[in-house]
Amino acid sequence: MKIINDYPIINKKVLLRSDLNVPVKNGIIADKTRIQAIKKTINYLIKNNNKIFLLSHFGRPKGQFNNNFSLKFLCPTLEDCFSINKIHFAPSLDIHTINKINLIMKKKEICLLENIRFYSEEENNDLDFAKNLASCFDVYVNDAFSVSHRNHVSITGITNFLPSVAGLSLSNEVNNLNKLLINPNKPIAAIIGGSKVSTKLSLFNNLIDLFDTIIVGGAMANTFLLAKGFNIGKSLVEKNFVKEANNILENSNNSNCKLILPIDVICADNLSNPKNINLVEVNKIKKNQIALDIGKDTIKIIQTHLKDFKMILWNGPLGAYETKPFDEGTNAIINIFKQLSLNQDIVIAAGGGDTVAAIKETKTENCFSYISNAGGAFLEWLEGKESPGIKALKENVIF
């Protein structure tokens, strides 16, 4: 895969695919991480006298112009984050509009292009549309690993018509993931949480062959407990995936991968109005109760196991962490990571939307060697699937 700093990109019109699909609450950007992620690439391109055209999606406008999903509101934030006096804005992806702005732009300046998902051609990967768009630029840079699992114009289609390289943020994501999956420092463990086994079957099946231990938490643990014959009361469970859970348990044994399930849980009558909160062993869950978090003995087991590993991957909360007191298990694991991070020889990686949210809520980002903000692309890579966007960069032969 070609990396941006391996090639002389100087005095060019650069199309930079970024992920500016930032969370917005009450008109205010709640998290600027995705903007900050491309700052190194931006600075590199500015240093080399390029004109930079930022391309991104925002929300789900379904291929139609919709002011509610316009990217124009980001201009002041981008000016502040990149220390730029002015961000140009292109209200459409029409060639004449882009070329007109290019004429008034100076080197080292940035133009934000309008939401590419206003065009149905984007998600259809229309190559005529891609060729038309590419004609306005000299080089394409993909710095949006989080959407590189999409086979869209702005990810794969455009690479057919422009010299294409990876940005510094994307290459950092790929390098860190490969450290976990290709010749990792052993022993290596994974903590997998979340609600559904069905969404992580491929993840389990891939990690079982690569990891020494997998610790399971969250509601998905209920399906494994049911598969082992435990009564789980009214807990969230995927009964249709009990067979798959059994297969994972069997495959883990065959692959010498230890799979650890909760031995005790925090239960309540319901989540919306928690009452009768009880800590019980997994063989004593009451028929009318719901398992909502891991228990103290399970936390102790996890703590005992994790201290022996050189690399640890975390994906998914271990309970209904959005609702107190069922955030205690997830927070306890974060505190374990906090202690482990004092040992510089341990690599601790994390990813997934809820996982990252929990880390940010506890302000413990510095305790992790690597945090991925890529969501779906992060999971697909862990499943052993090469992202279409990465493949497209590898296959680009125009440079």
- Of 59, 63, 376, 384, which residue is the catalytic one? 376
Is 117 exposed, middle or buried (CB count within 10 Å of its CB: 0-12, 13-18, 19+)? buried
Q: CA 249, CA 188: separation in Å to the nearest integer?
A: 18
- Of 17, 34, 117, 200, which residue is the catalytic one? 34
Q: CA 127, CA 370: separation in Å to the nearest integer?
A: 35
Structure tokens at 227: 């598969």
Structure tokens at 327: 């955030």
**β-pair type (264-268, 278-281):** antiparallel
- Of 40, 196, 284, 286, which residue is the catalytic one? 196
- Locate the DSSP E strands across 60-193: 87-90, 110-113, 139-142, 164-166, 188-192
Q: What is the CA radius of gyration of the chain?
A: 23
Q: Do the beta carbons of residue 368 and residue 391 sit within 8 Å?
A: no
Q: How far is CA 300 from CA 14, 156, 306, in A?
A: 52, 46, 10
Helix (H) or strand (E) holding 331: helix 328-340
117 belongs to the catalytic site: no
34 belongs to the catalytic site: yes
Residue numbers annotated as active site:
34, 196, 353, 376
